[in-house]
Structure 1
Amino acid sequence: MIYSISRKQAFDNFIPKNILGVYYFISSEENIIYIGKSKDVGKRIQQHIKNGRKRMIYEFKKIKILKLNTELEALLFESQEIKKFLPIFNRKLRKTKNTISIYENITKYGYKFFDLNHCSSSPILEFISKRKAINYIIKISKEFNLCYKINNIEKFKDACFNYHLKDCFGACINLEDVERYNKRFDYSLSKIFKIPNDCKIIFEDNPHKTFVKIKNNRVISFGVKNLSNHKINYPSLDELKIVKIFQKKFNSTTIKKNK
């Protein structure tokens, strides 16, 4: 169900109560300027109006509310909508974070690697300092025999130091098969997120069952049994992080490995 709320209705708090879902602040030019989610959308909108960013509150003309079924469904749906519409105030909020992000990148030869950035659109993990982020990359690289040179831990012109110790299989000098190397990289991600590469996870969120399908370390679809089914059109690691966080909240989950 979709609700349309005028600016006046929003300021008068004339919003349906206890709606779980995703909401959109829309400007007079019909641009979506902010997307959020809440277990109580009306209450969250009032918080924006009272304490939110002044420019955003000044610019919005109306609010659209999409009613959904579970919190996890709303979180994943919100993530996809932000990637689709790229609202200006969602982007500004992300830029204010003073953290170092680890994100996935790929070399010109096709090898996947962990890279660092102050502001990544889809970080795997975030750290308060560059040193902590590098130490984590070193730990993962050592555990899964990932090349230190490819992961920018070492700066060598030719083979990395570990190659001479036979702890690297030669990806740094393009000797190791790319597919073989990337399989280890993908497996390291499943270790980070503690979620199998290919599976279906079902969350028992009374009275609903929210499902998430994962393939190659990416959420490919999600929904609520007998009610909804959403395809992931903008895949990233953000959705996997949401699922990982949600797993900690639920004791009642079922993981089925894909055949």
Structure 2
Amino acid sequence: MQEATLDIQLKTLPASPGVYQYYDKDGKLLYVGKAKNLKKRVTSYFTKNHDSYRISVLVKKIKTIRHIVVETETDALLLENNLIKKHQPRFNVMLKDDKTYPWICIKKERFPRIFLTRNLIKDGSEYFGPYTSVKTVYALLDLIKGLYSLRTCKYDLSKEKIESGKYKVCLEYHLGNCKGPCEDLQEEQEYNENIEAIRQIVKGNFKDSLTRFKKQMVEHAEKMEFEDAQRIKEKIQVLEKYQAKSTVVNPKISNVDVFSIISDETHGYVNFLQLSHGSIIRSHTTEIKKKLDESDQELLELAIIDLRQRFGSKSKEIFVPFKVEVGEEIKITVPQLGDKKKIVDLSVRNAKYYRQERFKQIKIIDPDRHVKRLMAQMKKDLRLPEEPRHIECFDNSNIQGTNPVAACVVFKDGKPNKKEYRKFNIKTVEGPNDFASMEEVVYRRYKRLLNEGQPLPQLVIVDGGKGQLSSGLKALDALEIRGKVTIIGIAKRLEEIYYPGDSIPLYLDKKSETLKVIQHLRNEAHRFGITFHRQKRSKAALDTELDLIPGIGEKTVVELLQHFRSVKRVKEATKEQLIEIIGESRANKIFNYYLSKKEKL
């Protein structure tokens, strides 16, 4: 009966723009979404086979569908954003709204004060912001204070009270920070001209103030008022220095919002830059947690609406790295060249840096989250059926065909687990044969794990290309575990990753974390194998020399090598030097052994 009810709801949906809401059997809101065509969008949830596990879970829980029809797609975007923030449904991305950002206030009063505030009062005052950094606000206020003389007192400077002589100038006047409007020492028109100039600076327009100061400087110089001219010149330098720090693109690019996104398996990181007169007047990056494997386009569209609402942006144009749909009233530009492309690239760089910083913080604060994210990323990048929590990597070492050995290193949750490293002497292969050696060690490793009832890894990596991969695959086939573990090969030259039955290798991004983990595994296996190979070669070298001398045991060999450091130096030592280390009897045996060898030559 419930299925029929759901079916009827789907059939009766309108083909109009709007917002849809999914509820479970208990009437709890699960998900809010927007659509150009409600009927088409909602029906797609129930007619497609979803690759995403989370979407499949959502669809199974849906028992009731409600919808709100709106006039335009823009209205749908705004309504969706507001409903998500209000109800925080389980399957929607998390949009956080922090209302504690600082603002710059120009108070609505005679001789307006300018100050930082976190409270917006609807009394007609002007508020600029919000700013994402208090430091930015203080820097701006310091700049303004250095350029213009403004009052800081809270007096009611009405005309009547000033004329009645109610107020007296304070210390700020004597310090030169205020021109004394409280005693009618500054004209209201001059003060308001300064306020207008400040208003433009806060908006990112420095041109008017610079022009005004340069004109004043010339006037003072013409009147021989060089101290005043120098004072104005210093203000110009301060303003130009501040402008140079904030101007990053062509000054003609004005009143534009720039958005970009970087994402991984679990989160999206959206950067927002606001431009005015070629200056960045705001930069903010937000983290969005994915719930239903949302695409970058879906996340960015949600974030654009949310951030523009949060920061009160009225810009009519948006620069983005790819096409988005955020309403017909806003012009969407995807720059390909020039200054516009540079500013989008800068936004992307900001998002990347933010993501890197978050990773560093997460590793310290929440290592489990870092591991989960890394495992999810590796599963996606390597097209694995499950997360590779347990990975093993094999490497062969047989320099110049001597002492063939192999190494197996083990990583758990992306990190080395050295106590589980294993080394192998090649037993069944004669001479240097990498392929046969690989088949032997892979077979021996997993034969033992199966016999001991130990868990198999989710991923096996062999160091080498198609040949080594085929050899490893033969071993898995022989043990009948081919489908139970995934095996891949990594070729050294171009970091190509090979899969069984696929002649075309996979190339991962050189900066990807997945490739870094694989390279770490390969390098560890190589290091571990080379170390073991050196140990074998060293022992073999000793066996052919000192260990073959009759009457000389292992302890004596160790004593000699600790002192002389090499077999060659033992050969060249005098009988007296040998007696001093190991006594006369054993010294005679070694000395006579090498003497007889020289005589034969």
What range is the shorter-chain TM-score in?
0.3 to 0.5
Query: Structure 1 or 2: larger helix share?
Result: 2
- Of Structure 1 and Structure 2, which has the larger fraction of its residues in strand? 1
Larger Rg: 2
Higher RCO (CA-CA < 8 Å; seq separation 6+): 1
TM-score (norm 1): 0.40
TM-score using structure 2 length:
0.19
